[in-house]
């Protein structure tokens, strides 16, 4: 389920978590109170055991607003379409992270251009009454944003 541990996008986010805040703002249009920062947290907070396997998101972050509450974001970077993971595991990652960290949580999928529509599909999580929609950015857009380098550094880690 998880991306390769040497995935350059995941490595970039681990080394420069401030990129996550910039991506949420620039690529997804989030209006974030400033200053805000992203901090890596234990990915074990997304871990679950099912069908004889252990599953976990690729990364997890706390999004902190100075003087405000934190929110949580699980990150997945699938190398290929995985219907079962998207339909069953992704909502669990966000729910477990929120439960274990004590606050609102979501999931960001980092995918190739061809998989954006697939990853953004709303998932019915039980009798159609509860739904979950992942946030999605492309690998190329995230890498281009990192290469741009001219972002406002008042957004710090």
| pLDDT > 70 in the chain, percent | 89
Q: Which 3-state string (H, E, C) describes the chain?
A: CCCCCCCHHHHHHHHCCHHHHHHHHHCCCCCCCCCEEEEECCHHHHCEEECCEEECCCEEEEEEECCCCEEEEEEECCCCCCHHHHHHHHHHHHHHHHHHHCCCEEEEEEECHHHHHHHHCCEECCCCCCEECCEEEEHHHHHHHHHHCCCCCCCCC
The pLDDT of residue 16 is 93
Cα 131 to the center of its chain, rounded Å = 17
Residue 125's pLDDT band, with cuts at 50, 70 and 90, is confident
Give 22-78 pLDDT, tens digit per residue: 999 889 988 766 678 899 999 999 999 988 999 999 999 999 887 778 889 999 999
* pTM summary value: 0.87
Residue 151's pLDDT band, with cuts at 50, 70 and 90, is low
Tell me how far apart the terminal alpha carbons of the chain are, to the nearest angstrom: 28
9-23, 42-56, 97-111, 139-153, range with the lowest pLDDT: 139-153
* Nearest CA-CA partner of 66 in 100, 32, 98: 32
Q: Name the more confident of 134 and 126.
A: 134
Mean pLDDT of the chain: 87
With beta carbons less than 8 A apart as the criterion, state whether 22 and 34 touch: no
Q: What are the residues whose beta carbons fall under 8 Å from the beta carbon of 140, sequence distance 6 or more?
A: 112, 113
Q: Name the more confident of 109 and 3.
A: 109
Is 155's pLDDT higher than 50?
Answer: no
With beta carbons less than 8 A apart as the criterion, state whether 90 and 76 touch: yes
């Amino acid at each position: 389920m998880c991306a390769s541990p040497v995935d350059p996008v995941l490595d970039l986010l681990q080394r420069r978590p401030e990129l996550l805040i910039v991506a949420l703002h620039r690529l997804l249009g989030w209006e974030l109170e400033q200053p805000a920062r992203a901090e890596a947290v234990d990915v074990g907070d997304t871990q679950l055991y099912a069908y004889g396997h252990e599953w976990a998101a690729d990364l997890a972050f706390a999004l902190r607003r100075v003087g405000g509450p934190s929110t949580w974001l699980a990150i997945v970077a699938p190398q290929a379409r995985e219907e079962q993971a998207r339909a069953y595991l992704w909502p669990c990652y966000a729910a477990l992270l929120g439960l274990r960290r004590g606050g609102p949580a979501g999931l960001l999928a980092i995918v190739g251009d061809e998989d954006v529509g697939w990853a953004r599909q709303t998932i019915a999580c039980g009798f159609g009454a509860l739904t979950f929609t992942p946030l999605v950015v492309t690998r190329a857009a995230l890498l281009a944003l990192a290469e741009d380098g001219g972002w406002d550094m008042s957004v710090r880690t």
